[in-house]
Amino acid sequence: MGLETMTNAERASLTGKIDRITARAVNAPIEAPVKTASGEIRQAPLVVIDIDTSDGIRGTSYIFAYTPLTLRALVTFMEDLGPTLIGEPAAPASIYKECEGRFRLLGRQGVVGMALSGIDMALWDALAKAAGVPLAVLLGADIAPIEAYDSYGVVDPKRDAKRLETTLERGFGAIKIKLGLGAISDDVHTLSELRQVVGPEVRIMVDYNQSLGVTEALERIEAITEFDITWVEEPVPAEDLTGHALVREKSPIPIQTGENWWFPEGAANSIAAGASDLVMPDLMKIGGVTGFMRAAAMAQAASLPVSSHLFIEASAHVLAATSNIQYLEYLDFAGSVLKERMLPENGRVIAHGPGLGLDWDEDALKHYAA
């Protein structure tokens, strides 16, 4: 039975009612630091979410806190929110709508939106587990390999040669790096060396992490055009839709944005502004699975290819159900606390199940508890 043919009542009947919501904070080790124009990520501060239902199903998900400073706030908020949802049907679309109304006056950005998205993902996980299928199947999709790109921070192609060789050995046909820390000449030098290392066939994307103004963005884009760049990501601040539209209008390279959209309304505003050629919603900010599928539908209507941002396990499922898919971003933040890490094969990943395919390593969760 697919999503399109199920009513909310039928969804609720699969998993019963919400019995308990548990949130735990961990600082998970990652393969290598991710250096950006805005700072460096040396470990992944995660909030691990478990939702138990009256039918004995446990839905799981995780969210990425960006900094350990937000871990306590996220866990506390979810502990306070949990009792207000106990006894409600474990139907994600209904809970999404209820929370949308509950936080209308406050707004849903920041900690609130992150927590609500995590709950939504866990509820969809429970729903698919109750049906005994991977989430992608519940969403009406086939399970098939999805092309991914290997996602880096700032790189030094010579210093990071071994990591880059591993990327090529894993079969990735695309790689993304961060730029913008130095002068324009530094961007050019990095891309020149990177292109020599990976060869002419591998696609290269670049991410400026919102660090530029419109004029400087266009100057830098013009300087790197010779390296056959697939996209330039968030050249100006994410909320500057006018600035993104101006850069997009004059840029010879496609512009990518979307990871900082908050809920489908953010997607609608960006698409209406003509802010990008490509989109990449973030499951934690777009509203979980419910929000992602709504934003992906808007993108399809606007003929905008869709990629994912982080959350490789859940992203593999929602992208499988997205017709205008482009890439899955491969950046593994949770593998160290899972019993089975999602690894690429020939540069592709495949969704695991049942549900989202997440199975916590409880010893690791205790070891890395924050």
Which residues does the annotation mark as catalytic? 178, 309
Amino acid code (one letter) for 166: T
Shortest CA distance to 74 belongs to which of 58, 63, 83, 84?
Answer: 63
The alpha carbon of residue 158 and the mean position of all alpha carbons in its chain are separated, in whole angstroms, by: 29
Quick one: DSSP state of residue 360?
A: B
Are 21 and 3 in contact by the 8 Å Cβ rule? The answer is no
Alpha carbon distances (Å) from 298 to 40, 269, 295, 303: 33, 11, 5, 9
Question: What tokens appear for 2 in the block?
Answer: 């697919």
Question: What tokens appear for 19 in the block?
Answer: 């019995």
Q: Give the HSE-up count for residue 206: Cα atoms under 13 Å, Cβ half-sphere.
A: 28
Distance CA 93, CA 139 (A): 13
Is it true that the peptide bond before 354 is cis, omega within 30 degrees of 0? yes
Dihedral angle sign, alpha carbons of residues 270, 275, 281, 284? negative
Sequence-distant (6+) residues with CB within 8 A of 139 are 2, 3, 289, 293, 317, 318, 320, 321
Are 332 and 342 in contact by the 8 Å Cβ rule? The answer is yes
Distance CA 146, CA 164 (A): 21
